Amino acid sequence: MATTSPDVWKSPKHRRTVYSVLGIVGIAILFDGYDLVIYGAVLSTLLDDPSHIGALSPAVAGTLGSYAMIGVMIGALTAGAIGDKLGRRKVMLTAIAWFSIGMALTAMANSIAMFGFLRFLTGLGVGMIVATGGAVIAEFAPRNRRNLFNAIVYSGVPAGGVMASLLALLLEDQIGWRGLFFIGATPILFLLPLAYFALPESPRWLASRGHRKEALALCDRYDLPAADFVPAEAPVSVPTTSAARTNTVVAPERTGFAGIFSRAYLPGTLLIGAMSFIGLLSTYGLNTWLPKIMESNGASSHDSLYSLLFLNGGAVFGGLIASWFADRIGAKTIITSTFFLAAICLASLPFISSWPLMYTAIALAGIGVLGTQVLTYGLTSNYFGTACRAAGVAWCAGFGRLGGIFGPVIGGVIIGAGFGPTYAFFIFAGAAVIGAICTGLIPRSPAETSVAITVEPTPARV
């Protein structure tokens, strides 16, 4: 338990360290969002002109969109297991380099097969960033600001979408889709060196692995409050007389995936996975196909890109506002509400003829779809204890990416079959309702209470 007030910074150096970590992780996830949306932003160009990577059908385009999500799922699940054993810093540095190189190579792809393979490889790096970033923020953020800090960091996903939409609108005619992908590779030039020098290992992780001296030394170097970052060792009581009826010992917390699938965490683990699955199905499905759906609804190819701008812009501002309420009334309540908000807005879109009202509904849906994901990672990282936190966030990001795989495929099937926009919006609205139900059923975190085992002592010999 911390002994210092979570509202008080120990020193300016403590504050600078935490904000540096926040900035590094936030920028990394900003480019995750850029990668998410840039494919949807250039998809019309790739569909209309087979000279780029080959002749694409809507079904193949949807499958290509899912390849990156398969990579993200594998990368996130792998990062969770590795991050809880080798540390957060090593995984983040590797992920930034991997993602950047993948984006650069994708920009040079000249066939559908090569493009899909490189999207998969890039997704591995994205998954490592998403899974590890939540664990890093949860372990450096002040306790009463974790939802806010997680929302700031993960709002990088929709903010990256806004960046991708704007750059596609402004620069695609000048630099083409390949130039837009090269922009996504730039973190290796500035973010990787910054992270190498300014991103420390997590003292909480070091302490959880038994390296208390290293954790305390790290707290001293960065002037972090040791009482907050290095939990005190739990005393183990032993029976002092044969008359003792019971002996209470603290049960060691399981690490990694063994921890999140233990009996205490299992119900919440499954529901968190379902919640993330639904959120990412909607997020990736809409970000891949919303421009095409809007074209079917009467928008021009250029104007349809504004739908991505409003979807992601609404998520940025709405997610930050929602996080403020989440720190006061709980993330679960807010996520449930925003899922329902998305369902209402998406279901109403086919019946709205006014473009201002339509873009307003899209922005509100963005709060419930992408904005919900911002809070999902915060809820997850705070639900699991330190020993299995990275695995918990990895499960949320990794299993959720199965939804990200199905989202683009579902959109491609709908468009390829010639169904109108009404079917697409109703399908995504129904998914949001299911997400709200799963979120509402998540139980209280076992990490909020100490786990004790009652052991009957051996009877004294007479």
- Number of domain units in the chain: 1
Distance from C-alpha of 396 to C-alpha of 54, rounded to nearest angstrom = 35
Residue 460 lies in a domain: no
Q: What is the pLDDT of residues 183-194, one digit of tens each?
A: 999 999 999 999
Q: Which residues pair with 454 in a beta bridge?
A: 248
Q: What is the pLDDT of residues 364-406, one digit of tens each?
A: 988 888 777 777 877 887 788 777 777 887 788 778 778 878 8
Looking at the domain assignment, is residue 262 inside a domain? yes
Mean pLDDT of 87-107: 93
Most confident of 16-30, 212-226, 243-257: 16-30
Asked if residue 213 is part of any domain, the answer here is no
For 431, the enclosing helix (H) or strand (E) is helix 421-440
pLDDT in tens, 223-241: 888 877 877 665 444 444 4
Least trusted range by pLDDT, from 59-68, 193-202, 330-339: 59-68
Q: Does residue 297 fall inside a structural domain?
A: yes
Q: Is residue 6 part of a domain?
A: no
Residue 234 in any domain: the answer is: no
CATH number, residue 166 = 1.20.1250.20
pLDDT at 451 over 70: no
Span of 1-10, 353-362, 453-462 with lowest mean pLDDT: 453-462
**Residue 427 vs residues 419, 421, 430: alpha-carbon distances, Å:** 12, 10, 5
Please tell me the predicted confidence (pLDDT) of residue 124. Answer: 92
Q: Where residue 281 falls among pLDDT bands split at 50, 70, 90?
A: confident
- Predicted confidence at residue 456, as pLDDT, reads 42
In the predicted structure, residue 304 carries a pLDDT above the cut 80: no
- Taking the model in full, what pTM does it have? 0.71
CA angle 223, 16, 141 (to 5 degrees): 80
What per-residue confidence (pLDDT) applies to 296? Answer: 74
Query: C-alpha distances in angstroms, 302 versus 48, 310, 420?
Result: 13, 14, 20
Which domain, by its residues, includes 432? 12-204+255-448
Assess if residue 322 is contained within a domain: yes
* Residue 231 in domain: no
Instruction: Decide if pLDDT at 143 tops 80.
Output: no
d(CA 299, CA 286): 16
At residue 254, the pLDDT reads 67
